[in-house]
């Protein structure tokens, strides 16, 4: 089965040590955190493409981060750009991301300190629709941050209701460790879930199977969250789900191929 990993990270060689060290007291990386480390993991686990998700950490860095990202957007790595919601003119950044040829953006409401469903940011989601950019957001609990959380399943539901044309991926199966709310607010709706980090550390397999049965198999994307979770472990988990082979094929490859408008081969 061909595989696209829709949720990975790596860091520029110059800052990789600093980036990994910040998280290390909470979680241990499984690659060395570089592009080479990710490519190595992909080869080992027969993964054809990885979507890599950088994030703008402060508004002033939007341009330089997106320029870096666009240079990394080639071969087996599909690099997304990013926007900082507190930028003065986020529309300009989003237009720039699209002009640089990237297919989507990543936002992280905890790190970027904004409430995802606040109507202040409607202009950002409208601009993503105009520029045909996919939005992938961290959703739910994050081990590095205390509550209240800035993007819950109910917040995702509110945004898709207001912006039905937005191509939105709610990471971590619609809301990390908020799976009752995922079932209540998101299952069956027009929103993608990625499976990043959905191993036994964060979800039990009974709950994962139940969520996947209640959500459309056309809206689920294999993802790992590498280097924070092993790509091979997440491949194994998807193979062991109680769903059809046809659904697995969609989750591993076909849904991502369609969403990213990749050529069929
Ligand atoms: Zn992630």
Asked if the model's pLDDT at residue 264 lies above 80, the reply is no
193-222 residue pLDDT tens = 999 999 999 999 999 999 999 999 999 999
Across the beta sheet with 134-137, the strand order is 81-82, 104-107, 134-137, 168-170, 192-194, 220-221
Strand partners, 81: 105
* Span 110-136, average pLDDT: 98
Query: Which whole number is the average pLDDT over 112-133?
Result: 98
- pLDDT band per the 50, 70, 90 thresholds, residue 74: very high
State in Å: Cα 52 to ligand 1 middle: 9
Rounded-to-integer distance, Cα 14 and Cα 20, Å: 12
Q: How far is the CA of 263 from the centre of ligand 1 (A)?
A: 26
Domain assignment present for residue 175? The answer is yes
Q: How far is CA 145 from CA 33, 148, 167, 230, 265, in A?
A: 21, 9, 26, 22, 42
d(CA 189, CA 182): 10
% helix, strand, coil for the chain, step of 5: 40, 10, 45
Q: Is residue 264 situated within a structural domain?
A: no
The predicted model gives 256-263 an average pLDDT of 96
**Cα-only R_g, the chain:** 17
Does residue 91 belong to any structural domain of this protein? yes
Ligand 1 centroid – CA 196 distance (Å) = 7
Task: Calculate how far, in angstroms, residue 126's C-alpha sits from the geometric centre of ligand 1.
Answer: 24
Query: What pLDDT does 3 receive?
Result: 98
Residue 96: inside a domain, yes or no? yes
Task: Look at residue 26 in the predicted model and tell me its pLDDT.
Answer: 83
- Name the helix (H) or strand (E) containing 5: strand 4-8
Structure tokens, 57: 């950490």
Write down the pLDDT at residue 24.
82
Q: How far is the CA of 144 from the centre of ligand 1 (A)?
A: 12
Backbone φ, ψ for residue 114 (5° rounding): -145, 155
Average pLDDT over residues 49-62: 96
Q: Tally the domains of the chain.
A: 1
List helix spans (H) across 28-152: 35-44, 62-72, 90-99, 122-130
- Whole-model pTM: value is 0.97
For 34, which DSSP code? Answer: S
Q: What is residue 22's predicted lDDT score, i.e. its pLDDT?
A: 84
Residue 265 banded pLDDT, cuts 50, 70, 90: low
Structural domain boundaries enclosing 117:
4-259
Cα–ligand 1 centroid distance for 225 (angstroms): 5
- Mean of pLDDT over the chain: 96
Residue 154's pLDDT band, with cuts at 50, 70 and 90, is very high
**Does 265 map to a domain?**
no
Centre of ligand 1 from the C-alpha of residue 54, in Å: 9
For residue 176, the domain's CATH number is 3.20.20.140
Mean per-residue pLDDT, 125-129: 98
- Mean pLDDT, residues 68-84: 98
pLDDT above 90 coverage of the chain, percent: 94
- Tell me what pLDDT residue 221 has: 98
């Amino acid at each position: 089965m061909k595989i696209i990993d829709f949720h990975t990270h790596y860091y520029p060689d110059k800052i990789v040590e600093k980036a990994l060290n910040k998280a290390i007291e909470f979680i241990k990386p499984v690659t060395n955190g570089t592009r080479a480390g990710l490519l190595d993991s992909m080869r080992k686990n027969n993964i054809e493409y990885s979507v890599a998700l950088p994030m703008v950490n402060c508004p002033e860095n939007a341009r330089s981060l997106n320029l870096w990202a666009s240079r990394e957007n080639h071969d087996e790595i599909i690099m997304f750009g990013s926007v900082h919601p507190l930028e003065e003119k986020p529309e300009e950044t989003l237009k720039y991301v699209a002009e640089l040829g990237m297919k989507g953006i990543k936002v992280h409401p905890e790190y970027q300190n904004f409430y995802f469903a606040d109507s202040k940011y409607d202009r950002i989601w409208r601009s993503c629709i105009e520029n045909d950019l996919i939005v992938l957001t961290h959703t739910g609990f994050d081990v590095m941050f205390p509550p209240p959380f800035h993007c819950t399943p109910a917040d995702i539901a509110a945004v898709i209701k207001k912006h039905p044309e937005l191509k939105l991926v709610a990471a971590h199966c619609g809301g990390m460790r908020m799976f009752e709310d995922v079932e209540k607010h998101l299952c069956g709706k027009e929103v993608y879930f990625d499976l990043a980090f959905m191993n036994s550390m964060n979800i039990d397999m009974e709950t994962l199977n139940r969520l996947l049965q209640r959500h459309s198999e056309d809206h689920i994307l294999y993802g790992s969250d590498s280097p924070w979770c092993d790509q091979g472990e997440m491949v194994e988990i998807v193979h062991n789900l109680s769903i059809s082979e046809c659904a697995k094929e969609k989750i591993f490859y076909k849904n991502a191929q369609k969403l990213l408008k990749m050529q069929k081969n």
